[in-house]
Amino acid sequence: MATAAANTPVVLTAGAQGDQKTDQAGRRPSGDDPGQNERADQPSPEDQPAPEKKKKRPILLFLVGGVILLIILFFGYGYWQHASTHEDTDDAYIAGNTHQISPRVAGTVQQVLVDDNWHVNAGQPLVKLDRRDFEVALVKNRAQLKQADAQVSQAEAAAEQADAELLQRQAEVTQAAAQVIQSQANFDIAKINFDRSQGLFQKGAVSKEEVDTTRATFDAGRGALNGAKATDEANRAQVAAAKAAVDSAKAQIENSVANVSVSEATVRDSELQLSYCTVIAPVSGRIAQRSVESGNRLTVGQALMAVVEDDVWILANFKETQLERMQIGQPVDITIDALPHHKFSGRVDSLQPGTGSNFALLPPDNATGNFIKIVQRVPVKILFDPNSIADVREKIVPGLSTEPSIAITVRPTQLPYVTSADAKATPPGHQPITHGEGQPSAGAVQ
């Protein structure tokens, strides 16, 4: 049977023939044992799939390498495109105005009307102090104001009396002057009569008795004239005194009016002090760091709480090498570390007029010692688009880290957003941040 089997022709496929040749080439000499030769002709199951693996492995590696290369090219091109059209930084944070609330008068807290994280509006009462001491002071100062008003009325009455007395003295002076004139006339007539009678007496035309009579009339006229002159001088002195009294009365009026002004200012100050017993919010915002409780005794300037203003913005510290094509009004894509699944938008508002180190407590002095050049950073103010933060506005608070990306190749199409705090302020100049040789940089607003 063995001989018959050996003489029977066997038909093998091309794959089987290749496998058989491979097996025969790797088979050791087996001698003349027919059974051994028959077992050697059968391929082992371990050696048969080896050629298929060798053929599939290069194809798989080529496919994997091609996919990896495509991925690298795809993301690399995206990164290159983004890096060439945007300026990014992770040195940025949200900023906002924080207003420290403190009392303007010392007093005892009667009521605290707000709590931490509450939202308040501008002018809303926050804390109430005990008003009784200030109400008493206000009543006292108002009484002093009424007293000052009464003093003004009294001074005006005194001035009117002084004016009337002055008029009376002036009339007496006029009367005394007329009396002097009359006495002077009588004296002149008496002197003429005396001189005539004395001449006639020397001629014997009149008697000694008539001469004596004219002499007596002359002496009486002289005395009357002197008396009239004295009265006139006295009246004139009284007029001067009356004028001084009038001036004094006017000065008293001015003093009383000044006292009234002082009293009115005191009353106004008391009213203000009373109004300060109600501590109000200076701006709209949210309460933070409340440390006041009812019954606390407060001093002027003591910190009670803080109001964080509603308006927030981003301060991004860009390197000086990133500012060449940066312009006011360019759009900004913003991500916030606290809200990684939200995308926000905004616009460049302004550029700080100096690097951060220039405003440091100890600014650098490069003129002394060894110099090491360090890339400086310039704070850039970025405003949020109000619509993009409307849904999560309460979560966007000062201090959060952000990563803004400014599209430096986009031409600014509109002015930066105007916040409520900047509504009354002068907007920044909408000119390109950097210029080159007198010409605006590419995409600058003309």
Query: Distance (Å, rounded) from C-alpha 131 to C-alpha 357?
Result: 49
pLDDT at 425: 45
pLDDT at 111: 94
**Which of 39-48, 60-69, 118-127, 202-211 has the highest average model confidence (pLDDT)?**
118-127
- For residue 372, pLDDT beyond 60: yes
Tokens 């001189």 locate to 195
> Which is nearest to 418 in space by CA: 333, 313, 334?
313
Whether residues 150 and 118 share a domain: the answer is no
Residue 303 belongs to some domain of the structure: no
Higher pLDDT: 224 or 404? It is 404
Render pLDDT for 400-418 as a digit per residue (tens, 0 to 9). Answer: 999 999 998 888 766 555 5
Whether residues 292 and 424 share a domain: the answer is no
Query: Distance (Å, rounded) from C-alpha 256 to C-alpha 241?
Result: 22
pLDDT at 10: 40
Section 119-135 average pLDDT: 94
Whether residues 231 and 102 share a domain: the answer is no
Query: Distance (Å, rounded) from C-alpha 357 to C-alpha 376?
Result: 8
- CA dihedral (432, 434, 440, 442) in degrees, to 10, reads -90
Whether residues 146 and 180 share a domain: the answer is yes
Q: SS3 of 208, please?
A: helix
pLDDT at 229: 73
Render pLDDT for 287-340 as a digit per residue (tens, 0 to 9). Answer: 999 999 999 999 999 999 999 998 999 999 999 999 988 988 899 999 999 999
pLDDT at 241: 79
Q: Are 382 and 326 in contact (CB under 8 A)?
A: no
Residue 446 belongs to some domain of the structure: no
For 101, left (φ over 0), alpha (ψ -120 to 50), or beta? beta
Higher pLDDT: 217 or 40? It is 217
Cα Rg of the chain, angstroms: 57
Whether residues 332 and 408 share a domain: the answer is yes
Whether residues 191 and 146 share a domain: the answer is yes
Report the alpha-carbon angle 355-359-363, nearest 5: 95
Whether residues 245 and 185 share a domain: the answer is yes
Of the pLDDT bands very low, low, confident and very high (cuts 50, 70, 90), residue 342 is: very high
Render pLDDT for 250-285 as a digit per residue (tens, 0 to 9). Answer: 888 889 889 999 999 999 999 999 999 999 999 999
- For residue 193, pLDDT beyond 90: no
Of the given ranges (199-203, 229-233, 237-241), which has the lowest mean pLDDT?
199-203
For the chain, the domain total comes to 5
Q: From 87, 113, 141, give the residue that closes a domain.
A: 87
Section 162-169 average pLDDT: 78
pLDDT at 117: 92
Of the given ranges (39-43, 88-92, 314-318, 383-387), which has the lowest mean pLDDT?
39-43
Query: Distance (Å, rounded) from C-alpha 407 to C-alpha 88?
Result: 9
pLDDT at 128: 95
CATH number at residue 410: 2.40.30.170
Residue 285 belongs to some domain of the structure: yes
Section 194-218 average pLDDT: 68
Helices (H), 205-289: 208-275
Render pLDDT for 7-52 as a digit per residue (tens, 0 to 9). Answer: 444 444 444 444 444 444 444 444 445 444 445 455 555 555 555 5
Whether residues 109 and 80 share a domain: the answer is no
Residue 218 belongs to some domain of the structure: yes
pLDDT at 100: 95
Over pLDDT 70: what percentage of the chain?
74
Of the pLDDT bands very low, low, confident and very high (cuts 50, 70, 90), residue 344 is: very high
Q: Are 418 and 428 in contact (CB under 8 A)?
A: no
pLDDT at 400: 95
Residue 445 belongs to some domain of the structure: no
Tell me which residue range forms the domain holding 66. Answer: 50-87
pLDDT at 11: 40
- The answer, as to whether pTM is greater than 0.75, is no
Whether residues 138 and 265 share a domain: the answer is yes
Query: Distance (Å, rounded) from C-alpha 384 to C-alpha 315?
Result: 11
Section 150-154 average pLDDT: 87
pLDDT at 30: 47
For 354, left (φ over 0), alpha (ψ -120 to 50), or beta? left
- For residue 54, pLDDT beyond 60: no
Tokens 């005006």 locate to 156
Q: SS3 of 181, please?
A: helix
Q: Are 87 and 407 in contact (CB under 8 A)?
A: no
CATH number at residue 228: 1.10.287
Query: Distance (Å, rounded) from C-alpha 417 to C-alpha 289?
Result: 30
Query: Distance (Å, rounded) from C-alpha 297 to C-alpha 110?
Result: 10
Q: SS3 of 139, please?
A: helix
Take residue 381 and report the two structure tokens written for it: 């103010």
Looking at every residue in the chain, the average pLDDT score rounds to 77
Whether residues 106 and 140 share a domain: the answer is no
| Distance between first and last Cα of the chain | 106
pLDDT at 306: 95
Whether residues 164 and 196 share a domain: the answer is yes
Q: Are 126 and 279 in contact (CB under 8 A)?
A: yes
Residue 425 belongs to some domain of the structure: yes
pLDDT at 267: 94
Q: Are 307 and 282 in contact (CB under 8 A)?
A: yes
pLDDT at 18: 44
Residue 30 belongs to some domain of the structure: yes
pLDDT at 194: 66
Whether residues 116 and 226 share a domain: the answer is no
